[in-house]
């Protein structure tokens, strides 16, 4: 390529390939948002390869354990290779019964972080760092928890974006990048074009999805006007949060009680049947709520993490701010749109399912802005991403580009 002919996205992809020696499909899909990809790669590189409390093989094995909680074979296979390349003991890949006891001790916090983080208590931490030959130092534990959380979230992105392994049947090792019109092969999204295929199915589909888009934008305008005319009281916002929390119980994605976890995945975890349960249980009168203002990343988390695992706090803070504020001020074919209201509704709906409440947010906006099919997709990707289907992905925001829909994942 001629240097002056390379755009920002291509330049970032070339840089990643020259650094890691591979170009995975996660990078290709995420490169639709180059600013976020750059921040993501920087933080992930630091966690996995730079100086830190944990030895390299431990880092990749912890990534495997985290991905296995969501049955993400794509990430498991990726880090099995990296684990061996960094000197990991091959026997550990036979299952968790073959790993050191101190790694086994992460199983409990791994499953709670992945599925029901509100159950974690200070006793879980104390148990891991207590004096003994298998204890974890606080810096080591912070590094491990950052990795666990990172790969739980990344598994959601993989399933939510329909990312497939980089396979080529003509290649001797069966693994090589396949791209179609500069877009990665994805079960849920790829249609050989970054525009959404459902729009081209019929003229009726086009009109229908256009009317949905116009209706959404009209609701945004109306809510903005209502907010300016009359601000909801604190009591009203509390009531609307509790109502939204209870209504999230009704967002059902299907019956999966008897789903099986494959042997290739289950070997890396304990208690494979443990999964997400609705935070707001049916029949509970007083549902516990975590007020986000009581413990914040900015005031508490950042300083703690950065003190125990040098510089990771800065990298995570940059990534969090990037994704929280990411917008191109577009909605499908419309430009110069303030998308703040819609992005906040998505952000707060995810937190609502984990019982986290923002005192300054009116949760009545969630029901106004997020259609039911979008709620089903978000709840699935957030709580049990391995159940995500193409039908879920296709059912919402039919007028939007794939790059816009990936932001929800």
Q: Does pLDDT of 240 surpass 90? A: no
The residues annotated as belonging to the active site are 72
* Arithmetic mean of pLDDT over the chain: 83
Query: Of the candidates 54, 67, 237, which has an alpha carbon nearest to the alpha carbon of residue 157?
Result: 67
Residues 287 and 364 in one domain: yes
What 3 state SS string does the chain have?
CCHHHCCHHHHHHHHHHHHHCCCCHHHHHHCCCHHHHHHHHHHHHHHHHCCCCCCHHHHHHHHHHHHHHCCCHHHHHHHHHHHHHCCCCHHHHHCHHHCCHHHHCCHHHHHHHHHCHHHCCHHHHHHHHCCCCCCCCHHHHHHHHHHHHHHHHHHHHHHHHCECCCECCCCCCCECCCEECCEECECCCCCCCCCCHHHHCCHHHHHHHHHHHHHHHHHHHHHHHHHHHCCCCHHHHHHHHHHHHHHHHHCCCCCCCCCCCCHHHHCCCCCCCCCCCCCCCCCCCCCCCEEHHHCCHHHHHHHHHHHHCCCHHHHHHHHHHHHHHCCCCEECCEECCCCHHHHHHHHHHHHHCCCEECCCCCCHHHHHHCCHHHHHHHHHHHHCHHHCCHHHHHCCCCCCCHHHHHCCC
Q: Say if residue 146 is in the same domain as residue 225.
A: no
Q: Helix 340-352 and helix 372-383: axis angle, to 10°?
A: 50
In a domain, 267, yes or no: no
Q: How confident is the model at residue 184, as a pLDDT?
A: 42
Q: Is residue 59 part of a domain?
A: yes
Q: Residue 206 has what pLDDT?
A: 45
Judged by phi (left if over 0) then psi (alpha if -120 to 50, else beta), residue 362 lies in: beta
Are both 44 and 113 inside the same structural domain?
Answer: yes
Are 307 and 160 contained in the same domain? no
Question: Is residue 268 a part of any domain in this protein?
Answer: no
Domain count, the chain: 2
In a domain, 202, yes or no: no
34 plus 112 within the same structural domain? yes
Q: Are strands 334-335 and 356-357 parallel, antiparallel or unpaired?
A: unpaired
Q: Residue 103 pLDDT more than 50? A: yes
- 181 is a domain residue: no
Q: Which of 215, 230, 234 is nearest to 291 (CA)?
A: 234
Domain that holds residue 249: 216-261+282-408
Lowest mean per-residue pLDDT among 34-43, 155-164, 191-200, 305-314 = 191-200
The share of the chain scoring above pLDDT 70, in percent, equals: 80
CATH number for the domain that contains residue 145: 1.20.1290.10
Higher pLDDT, 174 or 316: 316
Domain end call among 146, 166, 186: 166
Query: Closest Cα to residue 147, out of 57, 211, 220?
Result: 57
Q: Which tens digits make up the pLDDT trace of 201-212?
A: 443 444 455 688
The DSSP element (H or E) to which 248 belongs, if any, is: none
Kindly report the pTM of this predicted structure: 0.85
Identify whether residues 97 and 229 lie together within a single domain. no
Tokens linked to 169 = 């049947």
Residue 303 phi, psi dihedral angles, 5° rounding: -65, -40
Q: Is residue 331 part of a domain?
A: yes
pLDDT (0 to 100) of residue 284: 52
Q: Count CB atoms within 10 A of the CB of residue 6.
A: 13
Please check whether residues 224 and 160 belong to one and the same domain.
Answer: no
Q: Are residues 156 and 47 in the same domain?
A: yes
Q: What is the mean pLDDT of residues 230-257?
A: 69
Residues 114 and 19 in one domain: yes
Domain-embedded: residue 62 = yes
Indicate whether 159 belongs to any domain. Answer: yes
Instruction: Determine the average pLDDT of the residues in 28-48.
Output: 93
User: In terms of domains, do 20 and 131 share one?
Assistant: yes
Looking at the structure, tell me whether residues 244 and 302 fall in a common domain.
yes
pLDDT digits (tens, 9 = 90+) for 273-318: 999 988 666 545 555 688 898 989 999 999 999 999 999 999 999 9
Residue where one domain finishes, among candidates 166, 183, 205: 166
Please indicate, yes or no, whether residues 114 and 239 belong to a single structural domain of this protein.
no
* β-pair type (290-291, 356-357): parallel
């Amino acid at each position: 390529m001629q240097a002056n002919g390379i755009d920002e996205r291509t330049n970032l992809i070339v840089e990643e390939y020259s650094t890691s020696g591979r170009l995975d499909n996660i990078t290709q899909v995420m490169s639709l948002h180059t600013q976020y990809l750059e921040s993501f790669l920087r933080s992930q590189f630091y966690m996995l390869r730079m100086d830190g409390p944990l030895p390299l093989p431990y880092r990749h094995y912890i990534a495997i354990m985290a991905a296995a909680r969501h049955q993400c074979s794509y990430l498991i296979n990726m880090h099995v290779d990296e684990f061996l390349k960094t000197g990991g003991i091959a026997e550990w890949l036979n299952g968790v019964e073959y790993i050191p006891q101190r790694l086994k001790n992460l199983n409990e916090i791994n499953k709670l972080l992945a599925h029901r983080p509100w159950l974690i208590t200070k006793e879980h931490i104390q148990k891991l760092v207590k004096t003994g030959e298998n204890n974890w130092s606080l810096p080591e534990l912070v590094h491990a928890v950052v990795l666990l959380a990172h790969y739980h979230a990344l598994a959601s992105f993989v399933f939510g974006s329909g990312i497939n392994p980089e396979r080529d049947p003509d290649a001797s090792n069966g693994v090589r990048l396949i791209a179609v019109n500069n877009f990665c092969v994805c079960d849920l999204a790829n249609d050989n074009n970054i525009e959404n295929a459902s729009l081209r199915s019929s003229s009726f589909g086009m009109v229908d999805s256009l009317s949905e888009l116009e209706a959404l934008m009209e609701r945004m305008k109306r809510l903005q006007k209502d907010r300016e005319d009359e601000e909801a009281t604190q009591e009203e916002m509390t009531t609307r949060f509790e109502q939204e929390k209870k209504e999230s119980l009704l967002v059902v994605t299907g019956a999966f009680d008897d789903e099986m976890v494959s042997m290739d995945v289950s070997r890396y975890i304990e208690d494979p049947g443990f999964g997400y349960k609705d935070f707001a249980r049916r029949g509970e009168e007083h549902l516990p709520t975590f007020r986000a203002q009581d413990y914040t990343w900015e005031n508490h988390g950042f300083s703690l993490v950065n003190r125990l695992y040098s510089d990771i706090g800065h990298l995570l803070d940059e990534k969090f701010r990037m994704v929280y504020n990411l917008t191109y001020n577009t909605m499908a074919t419309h430009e110069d749109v303030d998308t703040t209201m819609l992005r906040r509704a998505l952000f707060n709906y995810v937190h609502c399912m984990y019982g986290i409440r923002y005192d300054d947010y009116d949760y009545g906006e969630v029901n106004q802005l997020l259609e039911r099919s979008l709620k089903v997709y978000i709840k699935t990707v957030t709580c049990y991403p391995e159940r995500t289907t193409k039908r879920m992905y296709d059912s919402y925001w039919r007028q939007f580009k794939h790059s816009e829909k990936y932001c929800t994942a």
